[in-house]
Structure 1
Amino acid sequence: MIYFDNSATTAIKPKAVSKAVYEVLNSGTYGNPGRDSSDFSVHSSDVVNHAREQLKELFNVPSTELISFTYNVTESLNTVLKGLLQKGDHAIATNYEHNSVIRPLEQLKANRGVEVSYLPFDKNTGRLETEKLAELVQPNTKLLVCTHASNVTGYVLPIDEIADFCHEHNLLFIVDAAQTAGYEDIDIQKTGIDILCFTGHKSLYGPQGIGGICLRKPLEIEPLKSGGTGIQSFNPAMPDELPTHLEAGTINVPGIAGLSAGVSYVLDHGTENIRAGVKHLTDMIQDKLAEFPNIKVYTPRDVATTGVVSFNLEDVNAADVGQWLWDEYQIASRSGAHCAPKVHETYGTVEQGIVRLSLSSFNTEAEVNVLLKAIDQMMTESEA
């Protein structure tokens, strides 16, 4: 079996990840972090604190206090969007957004009267039409939120340019790094990202069920959840102190341990080296697809992209292509709408969907060569 669906979840992890999770769950020496002075609590606190230090280094966060753990990037985005936007506010997003951004925004629009505008992209080049940003700004615009890279095409958005625009117009800048954390170089201080939302189970090689929020500076965010924190137990409100303010209830220590091991892998190998290896493989795929004029490739080649190559074969339903790859060659891809409706509305693929191949640093040339053979066979059969 060959796994090319890493943009959904990296199925193959560093061995240290499962080892770290196993240690927490099976050693019998890890309890609830920060709840008492026993070794059980201290051991768990050490795991959590170490992970915050690693994320501080990876994303250049000013302080570990500005890093809060969640269960995934969807919860992170829901927390910050619903914790910041109120009636009368206006938000800007893009047509590249995943439903983890679109749905909270549309929910806020329906329930709180928040106004929302979406910046388009050029369907011919894939480029975000940043020159139209100024047209979307209103007197009540509070923030701009965007994905760092499209989960459909792999296109990396020009966040440096967007950040500069946000600073010029006094807007909060929120970045969904689901597709780029662990793959792209992310420096929230240098770039000026006010809030970075990430998940652990993709290019950070951690387990599912762990994510987080990184702040460039303290912000007043209404917590999405309220509950126990281990401190200020007689305070009916959530404590104001970060990161506790956004971490109600027992946090996912096994998940954090696994995330920590995944981040160690990224820090040890370096995002630049990881990108170079993956790009070599995606270039091989792009070169093969370019041989066939009846294949439409959606992943651009003249701009930065992640380890994604997306395509369609004429008017064949994407699900049929993905099923053929699995049935004939045991190649796992992802076909359909990818929870990004505005991307498909722009490309006119609402009914057809798109076939997405997404690679990680654990994929190999041998695996790609099998895919290239599969593409040759698929095209031969389609022409018969």
Structure 2
Amino acid sequence: MIYFDHAASSYPKPEQVAIAMHEAVASYSANPGRGGHKLAEQAREVIEQARKKIATMFGAPNKKHVWFYQNATMALNQAILGFPFQEGDHVVATMFEHNSIIRPLEKLASEKGIAITYVEPNEEGIIAVEEFEKACTEKTCMFAISHASNVTGAVISISDVSKIAKEREIVVLLDASQTAGTIPIDIEKDAIDLLAFAGHKSLLGPQGTGVLISKDDYNLSPLVVGGTGNQSELLHQPHSWPNRYEAGTLNTPGIAGLSAGIDAVVEMGIEDIWKHEKELMDHFLKGLAGISGVSSYGPSDLSKRVAVIPFEIDGVESHEAAMILDEHYQIAVRAGMHCAPKTHQALQTSEKGLIRVSFGPYNTIKEVDTLLEAIEEIRMAFL
């Protein structure tokens, strides 16, 4: 199988990820922080080391600012639904948001009466920085934005957006699910307040891992309360971090695997990973341009996008094309709406959806050529 669905979840994982997860289950499968015995302490130490690695990679003040969740969706829900919004508050998002941002915001619009502005992309498929400033009102208190679109790969210049936010004392929530592990991100340098991302995409960790990093205290209300392993005498959720935002037993095997995935990313080098994926994207787009009846979407300036490319084949429904690629060519892609309805609304592809190809660090030019040959054969078959 040739795997081109890294925007959904990376595959294959580095061997050390599986080794670390197996060791967690086979050698110290105790409850982290729930007891003073050696196995519980070993599990706790593995989690704390992972927390420290993430804090270092993303420039968090310290490891206590790093909170683990089941996925990026839960992390984003904690950031959005837990934020102390008041009726009439205003949030600026974009048309490129995933439902993990759209749905919590729309829930708050319905239940709390917040207002939302979704910034439109320009003709080049980019969300222009100045559009954020135009969208602001006196009630704007948050920018909730995806660093890169999971459909077109278009990247937002977060440091420039953050400058606008800081001038107006607006909190910046960044969904880096498509960029963490591919593009360098630093909370301090990029002036990000809340950073959420998945562990199972470009960080090469397993599914069931997500992270929210909070730069400062934004008075978030914890969405889940319960056991924390210490301060058990309290009848309310502890105020200390990370306990306040991590009720219940953590996914020790998953976090151990994520820690190993981060090691692999650091070993390969984020800049080298980006360069490799950009070369694959450039090769694919050039090849796609030579096939008649095939159209692609996204910025033409490859420095402003990650290796996520949506396209369509004239006369072939997107799901049918993906099924043919899977069954006849053993090539895995993603078709449909990609959990991003407003993106497809902006692209005017809501009725038919698109085929999405997304590259990872282990893909090769030869695999891309195989995909291009398959697309051309499919196109010819439907003439």
TM interval, short-chain normalised: over 0.9
C-alpha contact 2:95 2:121 (8 A) present in aligned 1:
yes
The aligned counterpart of 2:238 is 239
Distance 1:161 1:213 in 2: 22
C-alpha contact 1:179 1:203 (8 A) present in aligned 2:
yes
Distance 1:150 1:295 in 2: 21
Work out whether 1:267 is the aligned partner of 2:271. no
The aligned counterpart of 1:31 is 30
The aligned counterpart of 2:141 is 142
Provide the TM-score with structure 2 as the length reference: 0.96
Q: How far apart are residue 293 of structure 1 and its match?
A: 4.5
The aligned counterpart of 2:373 is 373
Q: For 1:183, what is the secondary structure of its paired residue?
A: coil
C-alpha contact 1:59 1:188 (8 A) present in aligned 2:
yes
Q: How far apart are residue 358 of structure 1 and its match?
A: 0.6
Q: How far apart are residue 264 of structure 1 and its match?
A: 0.5
5+ residue gaps, structure 2, are none
Letter of the 2:140 partner, please give it: T
1:156-188 residue CA offsets vs partner (Å, 9 max, x unmatched): 111111111111111000000111111110111
Provide the TM-score with structure 1 as the length reference: 0.96
C-alpha contact 2:91 2:115 (8 A) present in aligned 1:
yes
1:76-135 residue CA offsets vs partner (Å, 9 max, x unmatched): 00001011142322111110000000000001111111211111112x310113323233
Distance 1:20 1:121 in 2: 42
Matches within 5 A, 1:321-336: 321-336=321-336
The aligned counterpart of 2:16 is 16
5+ residue gaps, structure 1, are none
Distance 2:317 2:380 in 1: 17
Q: How far apart are residue 30 of structure 1 and its match?
A: 3.4
C-alpha contact 1:325 1:332 (8 A) present in aligned 2:
yes
Instruction: Give the RMSD, CA atoms, in angstroms.
Output: 1.3
Work out whether 1:281 is the aligned partner of 2:280. yes
Letter of the 1:37 partner, please give it: G
The aligned counterpart of 1:81 is 80
The aligned counterpart of 1:70 is 69
The aligned counterpart of 2:337 is 337
1:215-234 residue CA offsets vs partner (Å, 9 max, x unmatched): 22233110010001122222
Q: How far apart are residue 315 of structure 1 and its match?
A: 5.0
1:199-218 residue CA offsets vs partner (Å, 9 max, x unmatched): 11111111111111112223
Q: For 2:279, what is the secondary structure of its paired residue?
A: helix
1:278-321 residue CA offsets vs partner (Å, 9 max, x unmatched): 11111111011111353211032314211212111235321122
The aligned counterpart of 2:164 is 165
The aligned counterpart of 2:109 is 109
C-alpha contact 2:183 2:274 (8 A) present in aligned 1:
yes
The aligned counterpart of 1:314 is 314
Distance 1:315 1:93 in 2: 34
Distance 1:188 1:200 in 2: 17
Letter of the 2:103 partner, please give it: R
The aligned counterpart of 1:132 is 131
Letter of the 2:359 partner, please give it: L
The aligned counterpart of 1:193 is 192
Distance 1:262 1:103 in 2: 29
C-alpha contact 2:316 2:382 (8 A) present in aligned 1:
no
Letter of the 2:349 partner, please give it: T
Q: How far apart are residue 197 of structure 1 and its match?
A: 0.3
Q: For 1:190, what is the secondary structure of its paired residue?
A: coil
Distance 1:341 1:68 in 2: 29
The aligned counterpart of 1:46 is 45
Distance 2:324 2:228 in 1: 50
The aligned counterpart of 1:251 is 250
Over the matched positions of the two proteins, sequence identity in percent amounts to: 38
C-alpha contact 1:119 1:130 (8 A) present in aligned 2:
no
